[in-house]
A = this chain, B = another copy of it.
């Protein structure tokens, strides 16, 4: 029996990866769960979003299998100037969705938040995005009733483990 070792890590996302991020964000299976996007993204908007980011860090999600490492998605922590920084995550390589890569990436993002001195986090999830709801609740995030709408729900983590 052969066992494939899989390791997930994060690396800073830089401007050389903007085309890759655009391509991931342009897939309907991904942008359907975005709050502010209803179709393929235009480069100018994508770049403008990138240049205007503040109080935010963006990372590539790297997957190492055996001796090979590849880029499979991206994760960001934003609103770093608030008590509840926000997490955004996407696994762009569609065929590996649901295999725990996103969850491992979120754990690493939570570590990074702790490193920056944060103890709390929040995430907004499209209520139809059941895999994402499962991912975050498994990690201890709890639905915040007051701020939720039918389409979007806020989940908070009061104490990063």
Interface residues of A in 83-112 (CB under 8 A from B): 92-96
On whether the beta carbons of A71 and B19 are closer than 8 Å, the reply is yes
Chain B residues with CB under 8 A of A19 = 20, 70-72, 93
Interface bracket on A: 20 to 34
On whether the beta carbons of A92 and B43 are closer than 8 Å, the reply is no
Interface residues of A in 11-26 (CB under 8 A from B): 18-20, 22-24, 26
On whether the beta carbons of B43 and A94 are closer than 8 Å, the reply is no
A-B contact pairs, 27 of them (CB 8 A): A18-B70, A19-B20, A19-B70, A19-B71, A19-B72, A19-B93, A20-B20, A20-B23, A22-B93, A23-B23, A23-B24, A23-B27, A23-B92, A23-B93, A26-B27, A26-B93, A26-B94, A27-B27, A28-B28, A40-B94, A40-B95, A41-B95, A42-B95, A43-B70, A43-B93, A43-B95, A43-B96
